Structure 1
Amino acid sequence: MKITPIDINSHRFAKRMRGFDPEEVRSFLNLVSGEFERLVIENNALKEELAQIKAGLSDYKERERILKETLLTAQKLAQDIKEEARREGQLVIKEAELKGSQLLDQAARKAGQIEGMIQNLRVERDSFEARVRSAVEQHLRLLDMHRKEEDVEDRLRFMKKPTAGESA
């Protein structure tokens, strides 16, 4: 049975002989009623505060759950980003290695072509030197022959010169 301060205050006791002093009982009941009312109000306030705390706690638990989920999602996202970056890095490295290999092959082919051109130029140079040498030697022979012819002509002229007695 639930009792209220009004029940305490309005309760009437039966009178008997040699019973308690009605005024003293009334005064005590008023005192008990006031204290009981204060306790009921305090209890209600505490219940309300407890309900608010429970609601706040529930709110904090929900926030904590959301934060945990967010943290897990962020960690998963960070891990996914790291993994994607690692994969992309490996892909970039493979592409760079392939490109480097292609460039080396291309450079080797180009070096081979240049080496071939150098060989061809050397052959042409040697051929040109041989032709020039041959032409120079031929010219020297011609010059020598021409000089010999001049020497012969000079000797012949010297021999054909009239002596002092012959010219008169």
Structure 2
Amino acid sequence: MTLTPVEVRHLELRRGLWGYRRSQVHRTIDEIADSFEAVWRERSELGERVHELETEVARHVELETLLRSTLVSAERAAQEMKEQARREAVVIVSEAGAEGRRLVRDAIAEKEQLLAETRRVRTIMRAALEVLSEGQERSEEDGDDEADATPPHVAEHPAARPEADRLAG
């Protein structure tokens, strides 16, 4: 039976003729010693448990610190990846814009080249038609209408007329 400090303080021992009764005093001292021993053992066990818990808390604090630093590193890496992706996107958009401008320049140059080629072909066709017209006029003057004359189906063909005539008609 464990005794509390209050019970020990209020303990009443019976008195005998020459003082307290020895057997009761010895029994009470044994009870106090047993109680003290139980408390001492419990205190020791609790001290060991406190030490274990402090070690576990230290391990958890260490783990928490590691997790925090890992989280900070992951956040930093994610931010760096976002920034790198943004920079790459800017470069891609810039390159796409440059490529688009180059394609437009090439298309404009090709258009100009085709227009120049069209003008050259028109000039050649006009010159050829003028030569044919002059040849036809000469043959009419010489009286040789049938030999050098352009057949009517060719003269009436749209390709035989100058481009300006076709556009106007």
TM-score (norm 2): 0.69
Partner SS, residue 65 of structure 2: helix
Partner of 1:23: 23
2:86 aligned with 1:86, yes or no?
yes
Partner of 2:53: 53
Partner SS, residue 74 of structure 2: helix
- Gap change, CA 1:138 and 1:78, over 3 Å in 2: same
- Gap change, CA 1:145 and 1:45, over 3 Å in 2: closer
What is the distance in 2 between the residues matched to 1:137 and 1:55? 120
2:100 aligned with 1:100, yes or no?
yes
Counterpart amino acid of residue 121 in structure 1: V
2:144 aligned with 1:143, yes or no?
yes
Q: Deviations over 1:79-137 (max 9, x none)?
A: 11111111111111111111221221122111111111111111112122222333344
Counterpart amino acid of residue 66 in structure 1: L
How far has the Cα of 1:42 moved from its partner? 1.0
Structure 1: tracts of 5 or more residues without a match: 1-16, 147-168
Of structures 1 and 2, the larger Rg is shown by 1
- Gap change, CA 1:145 and 1:123, over 3 Å in 2: closer
The higher relative CO (CA closer than 8 Å, separation ≥ 6) is in: 1
How far has the Cα of 1:139 moved from its partner? 4.3
- Gap change, CA 1:100 and 1:144, over 3 Å in 2: closer
How far has the Cα of 1:145 moved from its partner? 9.1
Partner of 1:127: 127
How far has the Cα of 1:36 moved from its partner? 1.2
**How many pairs does the alignment contain?**
131
Counterpart amino acid of residue 77 in structure 1: A
What is the distance in 2 between the residues matched to 1:136 and 1:52? 122
Percent identity over the alignment is 23
What is the distance in 1 between the residues matched to 2:140 and 2:30? 156
TM-score (norm 1): 0.69
What is the distance in 1 between the residues matched to 2:46 and 2:95? 71
